Chain A
Amino acid sequence: MKYEVKLPSLGDEAADEATVSYWLVEEGDLVHEGDDLVEMTTDKAAFSVPSPKSGTILEKVVEEGDEVSVGDVLCFLEL
């Protein structure tokens, strides 16, 4: 089953955008729920996005340096 990993809410009503800093996983990697997948930054904050499920990284949709919005797909997991 293909599962979309999306950029979760930053709790920010106004500025819901972030930049992809770097990926911590490669396509094909096995990840567990809660493992950090990707590091993101906003203008003044850095944070990581944990995997919402356990599975295999099927495809990374965004690249380092990309601007993404809350709800955008970051990668696909095969559950």
Chain B
Amino acid sequence: MAAVDRGIEVIRVEKPIRYRDAFRAQQHRRIAVERGEKGNALFLLEHPAVITIGRSGHAENILLSREELAARGIELHEVDRGGDVTYHGPGQLVAYPVLNLKLWKQSLRWYITSLEEIVIRTIASYGIKGEIMEGFTGVWVGGAKVAAIGIGVHAWVTFHGLALNVDPALSHFRLIVPCGIADKPVTSMRQLLGYAPPMTEVMDRLETEFLNYFANFKAE
């Protein structure tokens, strides 16, 4: 039994929410979706500064010790998603979809590509041309990463998701080797546009693109 229709409830968290609290909320929802007690959801939020390390992560991609990070107010978490090391923090739009992929398409690759496409459409509304790079998940602009993607799936219900750099402290990314890729810089919408679009506005646009994309998808 799992969610049986394609409705997606959008849940916006107004204040930055700690990584572990957001993770718990996602897992509760995922379990409810698997059991068919609740429908699909899309969490939109920001985190306080945190570095997460995924299953395929390498500790050497974090350039400071846990203590040094704590002194800067940055938490460290090991998480059960694919991918390597990621930074999250204020000014970064985080989207955690909890979707029953059986209602759309049972393909991890398709789902990741879908998230990339939604980000590309969102930033295109600001005149930014995002690209995908073969072999490097995420959305890129001129060789720099503007959005990171890392997902988890249990019984075809998704968790984790994407992080779009609207206006984060880019200096914090220098504390890690983002996604374990040393020679690819990170960028933000602020850096690309010369101004920071309001977070709520970017959330609105991403929400619209997200809901349109999944409402309009036709299974082959």
Taking beta carbons and an 8 Å cutoff, which residues of A are in contact with B?
Answer: 9-15, 19, 21, 36, 39, 41-48, 50
> Would A42 and B154 count as touching, CB distance under 8 A?
no
Closest to B158 in A: A45
Evaluate contact between B80 and A46: CB separation under 8 angstroms.
Answer: yes
Residues 148-166 of B, flagged 1 when their CB comes within 8 A of A and 0 if not, give 0111111100001000000
Is B114 in the interface zone, CB < 8 Å from A?
no
A46 with B107: CB separation less than 8 A: no
CB distance from A68 to the nearest CB of B (A): 14
Tell me, yes or no, whether B109 is within 8 Å of chain A by CB.
yes
Select A10's contact among B55, B80, B109, B152, beta carbons within 8 Å. Answer: B109
Chain B residues within an 8 Å CB radius of A12: 107-110
- Which of A10, A21, A43 is within 8 Å of B137, CB to CB? A43
Given known A19-B56, A21-B55, A41-B82, contact A47–B109 (CB-CB < 8 A) = no
On chain A, the residues within 8 Å of B155 by CB distance are 48, 50
Task: Kindly report which residue of chain A lies nearest to residue B150, judged by CB atoms.
Answer: A44
Residues on the B chain within 8 Å of A43, using CB? 56, 82-83, 137
* Cβ contact within 8 Å between A45 and B82: yes
Which among B56, B109, B137, B154 is the interface contact of A41 at CB below 8 angstroms? B56
Find out whether the CB atom of B112 lies under 8 angstroms from the CB atom of A45.
yes
Chain A positions within 8 Å of B81 at CB level = 45-46
Asked whether A48 lies within 8 Å of B109 as measured between CB atoms, the reply is no
Knowing A10-B108, A10-B109, the reply to whether A44 touches B82 (Cβ < 8 A) is: yes
Contact with A along B111-144 (1 / 0, CB 8 A): 1100000000000000000000000010000000
Residues in B with CB closer than 8 Å to A39 are 55, 80
With A and B bound together, what is the CA distance between A47 and B82 in angstroms?
8
Beyond A44-B83, A48-B155, 7 additional pairs, beta carbon < 8 A: A11-B108, A14-B109, A15-B109, A42-B108, A44-B137, A46-B81, A47-B108
- Determine if B105 is an interface residue (Cβ-Cβ < 8 Å): yes
Bound state CA distance, A36 and B56, in angstroms?
A: 19
Which residue of chain B lies nearest to A10 when distances are taken between CB atoms in the complex? B108
User: With the chains together, A77 CA to B12 CA distance in Å?
Assistant: 44
Q: Which residues of A contact B55 (CB under 8 A)?
A: 21, 39, 41, 46
